[in-house]
A and B are shown apart, each in its own frame.
Chain A
Amino acid sequence: MTEQIKADFEKIVKTSAFSKKDVELKKKYLNKFLEIGFPSRKLENWKFSDLSQIIKKNIGELSFYNDYSFPNKVDTSIFVEDLEHNKIIFINGRVEKVDFSYEDKDKIEINDDFKFVDEFEINNSLLSLNNAFRNKCYKITVKKDYSLKKPLVVYHTTNNKIKSRNINLKLEFQLEQNSSLRLIDLSNDKAESNFVNIFYNFDLKENAILKNYKIDKEQNKNIRYSYNNIEQDKNSVSETFVLSSGSNFSKNEINCNLKGEYSSTFVNGIFSLNDNQHHEIRTIINHLVENTKSYQLIKSVLGKNSKSSYQGKIFVDSKAQKTDGYQLSKAILLDETSEFNAKPELEIYADDVKCSHGSASGSLDENSIFYLMSRGLSYQQSKELLINGFLLDVIEKITDLEIKNLVKNMIGLKE
């Protein structure tokens, strides 16, 4: 693999217009990645899913070179209907379109020339990989006191021009004081056997509100890793919703630093898996100051041969008195081949806190099925009704009405 990576890296340096300084930095990151390689079970964070094995099994040899010089045709049929929205479209890792036509031009700043800074959690080898091979990083700033009128949809699409490729993306968002953003992260893939490596960084200033919906719905044979870092100032609110069901393998990591008093974060997620799928959510919520709040709810419905994992950690600093932290993960196992793993972790150094977690897993309750069947439903109908009810609980947590309905339609849930 090492030879391939090095050769691909040289090719990228040759064909792209990076400054000398950037190339130096990228080289540093490349070496860092080569040192550690893809994460494996040896790392605590990858205990339940060995990425290097998964790549070996599903992809085989990865190639890291992407030609970003030619534009791809945008397929408008993938656009979300019945919802007016702003767009950023990635095709095969290349930004094809940035469209904020619904918004005031001077309230949003888009910078595609975002320089390297010293990165968060530098020990993540996938971040090093991302830094080494990524083409451009866009930074989007929402100005003070401005709320986007329409949600922003980021389309992650691939077409069948690529196969066995590694795609690296990075987006930076800054939400200034009193601003707000609704973001939908939508993936839609035609290509197979690629490894998509996405990094998001959100910086929320005082009173800012971020609603971040990540939807991976369409069945596809790709491997997806997405890392979200959220920094929160005083009174800011972030809401993250993950619908994890499309890709072959997917891992969402959410790292949230509650740095300002009265800031709060909500992470809700649904896994709906089948046929050899393996998805994971890992959250780290750092309560660093007083009076912060976090809430997490993750539910899984697991079909044949599927596996889901939840690794959640609440960290409470000794300064962070009056913290309120909660984690709940539940899973329904539908088949004898399905598997659920959880590691809900608490690390607490302050005494005046309220932190708890719960985790439950098991099969569908036969008594409930019996109850429904005795009222005339078929076995299949009863099962569906129970599962829908189980999942609806999480979808109801979506605070944006428009998007809640959109998600409900997408997964065919009706009240």
Chain B
Amino acid sequence: MDTREKDIEKLKDYKYGFSTDIENIRAPKGLNEDVIKFISNIKKEPKWMLDFRLKAFERFKQLKEPNWQKPKYPKINYQDLYYYSAPKSMQDKPKSLDELDPKLLETYKKLGIPLQEQARLNGIAVDAVFDSVSVATTFKDELTKQGIIFCSMSEAIQKHPDLVKKYLGTVIPTTDHFFATLNSAVFTDGSFVYIPEGIKCPMELSTYFRINASETGQFERTLIIADKGSYVSYLEGCTAPMRDENQLHAANVELIALDDAEIKYSTVQNWYPGDENGKGGIYNFVTKRGLCKGKNSKISWTQVETGSAITWKYPSCILKGDNSIGEFYSIAITNNHQKADTGTKMIHLGKNTKSKIISKGISAGFSDMTYRGLVDINSKAKNSSNYTQCDSLLMGNKCGAHTVPYIKNKNFDSNIAHEATTSKISEEQLHYCQQRGLNPEEAVGLIVNGFCKEVLQQLPMEFAVEAQKLVGISLEGSVG
């Protein structure tokens, strides 16, 4: 058995499907002002933060859940969820990793996340979020030396209120859509990154999200600010235990790039997708939005979406600064009864702005996959250009692949080009690979990896390897 087969054997069932027995503190069930006050209180937040939350909640009460998306799901009872859950041992925040609950460390070890400092060799600074709270951030000292702030959102609210106050909600305001507003009201933790002027962040920053408790929604908020001339590459990974119920994950991610700054945001999303009959799994309804605020700034999204029962998200770029660049690279794989409705929005406001969208969708089993995207070139965005390519691969005739691009060009100086194809793996390609000694599954893996290559090569090294494996594993059992 070669390593790949061993991997597959090991991962036949969802590898991250275990749950950890840790005592939790929870907010009372349900959603109301008191729960929001409870969250704000337990996190010892200043008043302006509570006001921010309450304002969002006021707005939330008037909003209706959207229903235009392709994957339909049973109505979520928002009163039947816990909005705050934290490991009990975290109540008094540990000062260093040594004080962390060993069970937590164990969990992250199982997940392969280097929390211990000896993992220094990996050279990745990690912020780990367990259920609703950030449990540990590594490499702090080294980053601090350069003036880089990388900490949990709660810590940032306490220690850097000016920065948070200045930028929080400027890209995703409290008056946004249903799930984003819900997040604004009840978000519990997340990561905060600030890269000072002219600094090139020396290592990859990474957050690992884990949902553990049942009947909980996970609502994190991530805010990344790249000041003038800085650069940062940020990774995000997610897993959850196997449970029969559906769990809601509604995070908000805000990116802000000032003049000449660049942010690279990569996601490998591997939430529990439910079993092969479509039972259980995470509803991944995430709002991700980047603002290229300054001129010559750049934001690049890369995502590998293999998990979740339903993925419904559109990482977007608002290209406000002149000469700014937005990029979106995506691989979305759905198998069994998974559903995905994902894509991007590129909103061109500034002059000479450029955007590029490469989306690869693969659907197998009974799954349904939709690419939905918007390219909007405003009348003031002179000399802008967009290139979009979205390809879909179908495996079997029980699944679906859909492409819904919206293209709006209001500027005669600008160019938009859009291409999309849908096809299956050709018999010739399969035959060719098999002739050279690969079994059908390996052949499919190879062809699919080739199909995704354009996106995979955008990922940082460490993630690319993992993602490549994930691509093969997600399609396990879909051939034949």
Which residues of A line the B interface, CB within 8 A?
44, 47, 318-319, 321, 331, 333-363
Contacts and interface: CB of A to CB of B under 8 A. Distances in A.
A354 B403 contact: no
B416 A359 contact: yes
A361 B403 CA distance: 19
Interface string B403-417: 111111111111111
Nearest to A358: B419
A15 to B, nearest CB: 44
B400 A348 contact: yes
A354 B400 CA distance: 14
B93 interface: no
A356 B389 CA distance: 11
B415 A336 contact: no
B394 A351 contact: yes
B406 A348 contact: no
B206 interface: no
Contact of A339 (B400, B405, B408): B408
A346 B422 contact: yes
A337 B410 CA distance: 7
Given A338-B412, A345-B402, A346-B402, A356 B394 contact: no
Contacts of A347: 400, 402
B409 A341 contact: yes
B413 A339 contact: no
Nearest to B402: A347
Contacts of B420: 344, 346, 356-358
B411 A357 contact: no
B405 A348 contact: no
B406 A333 contact: no
A357 B405 CA distance: 10
B401 interface: yes
Contacts of A352: 397, 424
A350 B418 contact: no
Contacts of A362: 409, 412, 414-416
B395 interface: yes
Contacts of B394: 348, 350-351, 353
A191 B398 CA distance: 53
Given A349-B400, A360-B417, A340 B422 contact: no
Please provide the 8 A-B residue pairs with the shortest distance between their CB atoms, ordered closest to farther. Answer: A333-B412, A362-B415, A351-B394, A359-B418, A346-B403, A342-B407, A351-B424, A356-B421
Contacts of A318: 397-398
B357 to A, nearest CB: 13
Contact of A333 (B396, B405, B411): B411
B416 A336 contact: no
A333 B366 CA distance: 42
Nearest to B369: A348
A342 B406 CA distance: 6
B419 A339 contact: no
A336 B409 CA distance: 10
A356 B419 contact: yes
Contacts, number: 114
Contacts of B379: 336-337
Contacts of A353: 394, 422-424
A342 B374 CA distance: 10
Contacts of A333: 409, 411-412
Greatest chain B CB density within 10 A among A344, A351, A355 is at A351
A360 B423 CA distance: 22
Contacts of A340: 407-409
B392 interface: yes
B31 to A, nearest CB: 28
Given A345-B403, A347-B400, A349-B400, A355 B421 contact: yes
Contact of A360 (B395, B399, B401, B415): B415
A339 B418 contact: no
A354 B423 contact: yes
Contact of B410 (A321, A339, A350, A355): A339
Nearest to B380: A336
A340 to B, nearest CB: 5
A81 B385 CA distance: 46
Given A346-B401, A357-B403, 10 more contacts: A335-B412, A336-B379, A336-B411, A337-B379, A341-B407, A346-B402, A351-B424, A355-B423, A358-B417, A362-B416
A413 B288 CA distance: 50
Contacts of A345: 402-405
A353 B405 CA distance: 20
A354 B392 CA distance: 11
A336 B412 CA distance: 5
Contacts of B397: 318-319, 321, 349-352
Contacts of B412: 333-336, 338, 362-363
6 contacts: A47-B406, A318-B398, A331-B409, A342-B406, A348-B422, A356-B420
A351 B395 contact: yes
B275 to A, nearest CB: 23
B457 to A, nearest CB: 24
Given A342-B407, A344-B405, A362-B414, A356 B399 contact: no
B378 to A, nearest CB: 11
A354 B414 CA distance: 30
A344 B396 CA distance: 24
B48 interface: no
A358 to B, nearest CB: 5
B423 A344 contact: no
Contacts of A359: 405, 407, 416-418
A339 B406 CA distance: 13
Nearest to A313: B404
Contacts of A335: 412
Contacts of A319: 397
Contacts of A348: 392, 394, 400-402, 422
A182 B403 CA distance: 34
